[in-house]
Chain A
Amino acid sequence: MAEYSVFSLLRNAFSGNRDWKPAWRKPDPKPSYDVIVIGGGGHGLSTAYYLAKEHGITNVAVLEKGYLGSGNVGRNTTAVRSNYLLPENIHLYEHSMKMWENLSHDLNYNVMFSQRGVLNLAHTPAQLDDYARRGNAIIHSGADSVLMTPAEIEWLMPGIDASGSARFPIIGGLMQWRAGTARHDAVAWGYARGADRRGVDILENCEVTGFIKDGDRVVGVTTTRGEIRANKVAVAVAGSTGHVMNMAGIDKLPIESHVLQAFVSESLKPFLDTVVTFGMGHFYVGQSDKGGLIYGGDLDGYNSYAQRGNLPIVEEVNSEMLALFPSLARVRVLRSWGGVCDMSMDGSPIITTGPLPGMYLNCGWCYGGFKATPASGWCFAYTIAKDEPHPINAPFTLDRFHRGAIIDDKGQGSTPRLH
């Protein structure tokens, strides 16, 4: 019987919940491992999980400087979707989507992935054409997408301003029904538990302070819990990539770290099952199972590692919410926070071998990291195990920028804050 099930819940309820085991061990570091994964966030943990599960590599350590899941996996707005424009991105995120659809079973951990849809609203004919191009691209790449009319949208979302008199009238929308939301922390915990059960050592409060090199080759790291050596060192530290790679002697990357704020409202009776985005700004909102509206918008727009933003974006994001839902003026913001996003030069991630021998790099996820968690770890594990990328992540190299093989879903060029 699976460790977590309705039966184990009942059994434990009767025994006073005394038999539950820790979700993951808290081991001491060993002197060396086959693979070290730096970063105990979603991507790092899923990488370790798939190294063990798919490639039988279990002598693995995940190094986390704080508590597990303290980075963006615990700070995002939980949307999961694969509604990208370019085939490279659709393939990556659709691979992820398919993994999400079975993730709770795979991990024996309910990550509460719920496919209640993500809707992008269009406000001008040109925008609707643009969305149609994307929707058709999604369908031609094997994922799902439908166009919705204003009437359908109004029916789906009570309170949305679908009137023609809105400043930016809604003239349609692109819906991906298989998209949805997941419980973000549960994803980190589920992967940690799964990796731990397969023998992976998860080392919390273990901050990397430097890289140990043999010539050019990376052979280990120094940490706040001592020196740890490994044949392969993988970096998956979204938000801290610049900082960590700097320690390895790589001072320049096609990445800027930006702060992205997110907001949650007080708990309300659920009325919004779908995540919806505003087309004439940068805004998205969904509602959690606890009833809080979870929403966000644009980056603050400057390099920051501070995990906090400033007022102009707070005001802008909330204004955009009311442009869509004028009835929510009396709803109240409960919490706001900031996450640090690795904004790449084309808005797409990097999953690659190198840039140094013995090193593997996974970064540049912009806003897209959470939804990619399963596929990112899966592809990265493949790349680490085989020393070459899987076809899905083969386009997402570091040298693609210099070669001009850029994957620019938004067409904004090398201005990271616009992606």
Chain B
Amino acid sequence: MSPRRAVSGGRIDRLRTIRFTFDGHSYTGHAGDTLASALLANGVTLFGRSFKYHRPRGVLTAGVEEPNALVTVLSGAVREPNIPATMLEVYDGLIAESQNRFPSLEYDVGAINQLGGKLLGAGFYYKTFMGPVIGPLKGTRFWMFCEHFIRRAAGLGRAGTEREPSRYERMNAFCDVLVVGAGPAGLMAAKAAADKGVRVILADLDANPGGSANWSDETIDGMAAADWAAETVRELKARENVRMLPRTTVWGYYDNNTLAALERVADHKLAPAKGEPRHRQWTIRTGAVVLATGALERPLVFPGNDRPGVMLASAVERYVNQYGVLPGRKFAIFTNNDSAYRAALALKKAGGEIAAIVDLREKISPAAREIAGKVGGAHHTGHAVIDTEGGKQLTGIKVQRFDDRTGVLSDDPRNIPADCLLISGGWSPTIHLASQAGLNPVWSDELQAFLPPQATQNWVGAGGFNGGFTTAGALAEGHAAGLKAAGAPAAAIELPAVDDDGLDPKPAPVLEIKAKGKAFVDHQHDVTADDVRLAHQEGFVSVEHLKRYTTLGMATDQGKSSNVPGLAIMADALGKQIPEVGTTRFRPPFAPVSVGSLAAERYGDIRPDRLTPMHDWHLENGATMYGAGLWHRPMIYALPGETVEQAYVRETKTVREGVGLVDVSTLGKIAVQGPDAGEFLDRVYTNMFSTLAVGKARYGLMLREDGLVLDDGTTWRLGQHDFLMTTTTANAGKVMQHLEYLLDVVWPELKVQLTSVTDQWAGAAIAGPKSRDVLAACLTGTKADNETLPFMGIVRGEIDGAPVMICRLSFSGELAYEVYCGAGHGTHVWEALMKAGKPFGIVPYGLEALGTMRIEKGHVTGAEIDGRTTARDLHLDWMLSKKKPFVGSAMMDREGLVGEGRLQLVGIVPLNNRPVNGGAHIVEELYEDGPRDSIGHVTAMCYSPTLGKYIALALVKDGKSRRGTRAFVSDPLRKRFGPVEIVSHHFYDPEGNRMHG
């Protein structure tokens, strides 16, 4: 038997022993234990070190609000830091370790920070480390030097560098009523709603639904509260219209009653079962929400309140009643309200010794007084704890007479030996979700707490959430809330009977005892009451300034227990009421959420892969692929031993001299159909399309509304009312949206239908002087001769039995054809073309060769159409029709778009015949003292086998007028500089004889 485990009691399975390790030591616990309860049962009291001062810390709470007992869970090399031991169910093989200590939890050198206590107060960083104004440590250097060491000491747990092996999952759910919290109120609400036949989801963050029923000592409906809860849960589970989500934290309340919840599916096991995700992220869209999230107990603030052994009264009650653990031998209790007396009762029942109950109120309820008498030990009303004793473990407390109206301490202090001190500062309703879907919370003087705000979405609250701290009230409110949320009229029923223990939920309005010593408000971040007062003294008095200046409430527990005490101290310093200091707005998430769960299926699969129909062929035939947006495209098809440059030069040469085949399936394709299709194209293209003959294609240019170039491509007239538009790969989606907007919003009267057919067509461009011969060899049903298929003509036929559509157009500048077929026939047609081309020496070519040939021709693409260039800049003004308005025509001649100094497209020839890189800049002069005065930049470059030299395209300031002049390429990033000549962008066959041939 573990040293601190009670002989009997608790909701744990004593027959099942669980073995786990903490900081390398082996321990045992029972099924139903958390790491915190199991370690407490083993007599462990030291759980961690605080953030700033590295003070030894125990476990303060028994739930999600835990600030101190954070551990890292190890599973192989995968690390999961900052997990509250209070939320971690033990399992066989669990390996956990403490954090933020070196070399060990017991002896931590970081504890030296405690010596700097007064120096390291709030705002400390802002007042120093500025360093010298002159000298080698001027500027930011001194701070960065100091920061280096600060960063080495900073942080809680350590993240791993290993990829997570398990899976995350996302689930959408729809219901009529979502009940958050499965305590007595939530269970009643779920039952009431389910009885009305609506779809109910009941989510609770614990493994066993029941909430306070699991650890209160009450009876409900004549049975132990926990049994009543279990019974109710069983009943709900049996309903078809109820879904239970245990271990599920509802963490975010978004627009339109969309709530986000994290289900920890497999955190209580060594590894997820086969097919099971570790976490499941729920997006729940619901008609109404019942918030039955209960309340959280607050600590009192007094010197030494962070010593291991000091715990929330309700937490101890829970350890005793739910886990059968007595977290000490000799207990003292310090409270400002009645609820802690329940814990005293529980301790007494479980065999604990009560040394003293210290109640800072002079007057207490008769019920509390009766319990005090029953449990034994001293009962000091009108007293306060002013300090604690012990090293890393509480050994005693110091108590003094206290006036709860004036806060004055008097008489001599006395010492009371105790190894566990229960503290209670009253309760704060858990209104975090409501705060995300409501106005400002409402302060209650009576309860010294913020109550739920006015709702801005459809939710209703019940139980402790509303500030009602009795089980009977929770049951009644839960029932009413369930009905309301289900849209049913209020109806009285006979509620399960609960004994009324007569304790008074109202606390005294005192949360801090001012005495000498460090009194902690935010335990994890080591924010003391004096820090809050210093913030006040320096003018950081609004609640947000308080938080930001002191870091109060910014730790992993998000100030769940420190918020109200912090505000109380500030209000006291200001001489104001708490709500005048301000209210904190809680933002999502309610409790920390794993990044993996938010990524869910996108973890390891961020975006879809877009593959062309011929993708596998490319891989099988030696293509090196690279990414182009979501697409994968062949870069080169290298022969063994070839460099990238050798490969594309060979491919280019083969095309220029013979024939090559390139996959152009990625081009955007939009079917533009309908009686007004021609008219529509006239409006969106700068040039005319309505006059285009059926069976012909035309190159078109599109501007944005602001007059800059949007995209270019060819559009084919397949029929009187039927056009096939192609766009660049990169802009396919953007052009589609642009056209749809115009058609749907601006010109709905046009009878046009737009359909994206990018994925329906496979496309291959066959280019080179022998391309016609290859086509002739495999094309049936039509001919490829100049008469049947002139430049920009379109024919339909078959290749090896597959229907194809062929347009004679050229990006390479050679005689060339684009062959389109159904995507399913893509590889078949491709292979047929390769086979037919074999006698002609056909090669497949990739984007590098394609790019080389377009540079030689001076064609523009994404690097030049970069959203900042005009048609004139790219020498495409010949395409701007003067006969009609078009999108962008009214805006393209504004002064800023036509004046001097615009970047214009030019050709660049390096005079030293060395490569220049894309992104290199052009300058008029190279300066000794560093590059400056850029006049433009290189957009694309290649080695041109046709010209036998390196060439490039560039956008250069007033480039047109610089043709024939010298300049320099300036590429400091890659340390390449050299003289160049600026030339026309048409390097190759400017008259276009080859493609027309």
Query: Would you call B913 an interface residue if the criterion is a C-beta within 8 Å of the partner chain's C-beta atoms?
Result: no
- A142 and B927 alpha carbons, distance in the complex (Å): 13
Q: Are A147 and B283 in contact (CB under 8 A)?
A: no
Q: Are A404 and B895 in contact (CB under 8 A)?
A: yes
How many Å from the CB of B975 to the closest CB on chain A?
A: 10
Bitwise interface map of B from 101 to 145 toward A, beta carbon under 8 Å scored 1, else 0: 000000000000000001101001111111101000011100110
Query: Would you call B606 an interface residue if the criterion is a C-beta within 8 Å of the partner chain's C-beta atoms?
Result: yes
Write out the residue numbers on chain B whose beta carbons fall within 8 Å of the beta carbon of A326. 163-164, 603-604
**Which of these binds chain A: B34-42, B832-840, B860-868, B979-987?**
B860-868
CB contact under 8 A between A74 and B548, given known A136-B970, A139-B972: yes
Q: Are B599 and A333 in contact (CB under 8 A)?
A: no
- A41 and B334 alpha carbons, distance in the complex (Å): 44
Q: Are A334 and B919 in contact (CB under 8 A)?
A: no
- A111 and B128 alpha carbons, distance in the complex (Å): 10
Bitwise interface map of B from 58 to 84 toward A, beta carbon under 8 Å scored 1, else 0: 000000000000000000001111100
Query: Would you call A394 an interface residue if the criterion is a C-beta within 8 Å of the partner chain's C-beta atoms?
Result: no
Query: Would you call B602 an interface residue if the criterion is a C-beta within 8 Å of the partner chain's C-beta atoms?
Result: yes
Q: Which of B889-914 contact A (CB under 8 A)?
A: 891, 894-897
Q: Which of B528-582 contact A (CB under 8 A)?
A: 530, 534, 537-540, 542, 544-545, 548-549, 551, 554-556, 558
- A267 and B934 alpha carbons, distance in the complex (Å): 44
Q: Are A327 and B599 in contact (CB under 8 A)?
A: no
Write out the residue numbers on chain A whose beta carbons fall within 8 Å of the beta carbon of B154. 267, 269-270, 289-291
Write out the residue numbers on chain B whose beta carbons fall within 8 Å of the beta carbon of A404. 706-707, 891, 894-897
Q: Are A112 and B78 in contact (CB under 8 A)?
A: no
CB contact under 8 A between A314 and B598, given known A109-B126, A330-B80: yes
Q: Which of A283-322 contact B (CB under 8 A)?
A: 289-291, 308, 310-311, 314-315, 318-322
CB contact under 8 A between A321 and B130, given known A132-B974, A137-B921, A411-B868: no
How many Å from the CB of A135 to the closest CB on chain B?
A: 5
Q: Residue among A113, A139, A142 with the most chain B CB within 10 A? A: A139
Q: Are A322 and B78 in contact (CB under 8 A)?
A: no
Query: Would you call A155 an interface residue if the criterion is a C-beta within 8 Å of the partner chain's C-beta atoms?
Result: no
Q: Are B119 and A9 in contact (CB under 8 A)?
A: yes
Write out the residue numbers on chain A whose beta carbons fall within 8 Å of the beta carbon of B937. 133, 136-137
CB contact under 8 A between A327 and B867, given known A145-B973, A315-B599, A414-B706: no
How many Å from the CB of B513 to the closest CB on chain A?
A: 18
Selected from B121, B155, B542, B862, the residue in CB contact (under 8 A) with A67 is: B542
Q: Are B151 and A289 in contact (CB under 8 A)?
A: yes
Query: Would you call B617 an interface residue if the criterion is a C-beta within 8 Å of the partner chain's C-beta atoms?
Result: no
CB contact under 8 A between A333 and B593, given known A6-B128, A22-B539: yes
Q: Are B164 and A140 in contact (CB under 8 A)?
A: no
Chain B contact-residue range equals 35 or more
Q: Are B896 and A406 in contact (CB under 8 A)?
A: yes
Query: Would you call B627 an interface residue if the criterion is a C-beta within 8 Å of the partner chain's C-beta atoms?
Result: yes
Q: Are B628 and A291 in contact (CB under 8 A)?
A: no
- A167 and B907 alpha carbons, distance in the complex (Å): 35
CB contact under 8 A between A114 and B130, given known A136-B972, A269-B154, A403-B894: no
Query: Would you call A10 an interface residue if the criterion is a C-beta within 8 Å of the partner chain's C-beta atoms?
Result: yes
Q: Are A315 and B602 in contact (CB under 8 A)?
A: yes
Query: Would you call B509 an interface residue if the criterion is a C-beta within 8 Å of the partner chain's C-beta atoms?
Result: no
Write out the residue numbers on chain A whose beta carbons fall within 8 Å of the beta carbon of B919. 128-136
Looking across the interface, which residue of chain B has its beta carbon closest to that of A180? B140
Write out the residue numbers on chain B whose beta carbons fall within 8 Å of the beta carbon of A168. 606-607, 627
Looking across the interface, which residue of chain A has its beta carbon closest to that of B627? A124
Selected from B129, B151, B159, B592, the residue in CB contact (under 8 A) with A333 is: B592
- A136 and B555 alpha carbons, distance in the complex (Å): 42
Q: Are A414 and B143 in contact (CB under 8 A)?
A: no
Q: Which of A1-35 contact B (CB under 8 A)?
A: 2, 4-6, 8-10, 13-14, 16-18, 20-24, 26
Write out the residue numbers on chain A whose beta carbons fall within 8 Å of the beta carbon of B548. 74, 185
Q: Which residues of A contact B (CB under 8 A)?
A: 2, 4-6, 8-10, 13-14, 16-18, 20-24, 26, 66-70, 74, 87, 100-102, 104-105, 108-116, 123-126, 128-137, 139-142, 145-147, 158-159, 167-169, 180, 183, 185-186, 189-190, 204, 265-271, 273, 280-281, 289-291, 308, 310-311, 314-315, 318-323, 326-337, 400, 402-406, 408, 410-414
14 A–B contacts, CB within 8 A, in A order: A87-B934, A110-B129, A132-B918, A132-B973, A133-B937, A136-B972, A137-B921, A142-B930, A185-B549, A310-B255, A326-B603, A331-B81, A333-B592, A402-B894
Known pairs A136-B937, A139-B931, A319-B603 / 10 extra A-B pairs, C-beta < 8 Å: A5-B130, A20-B538, A70-B544, A136-B920, A139-B973, A183-B126, A269-B157, A322-B604, A323-B606, A330-B596
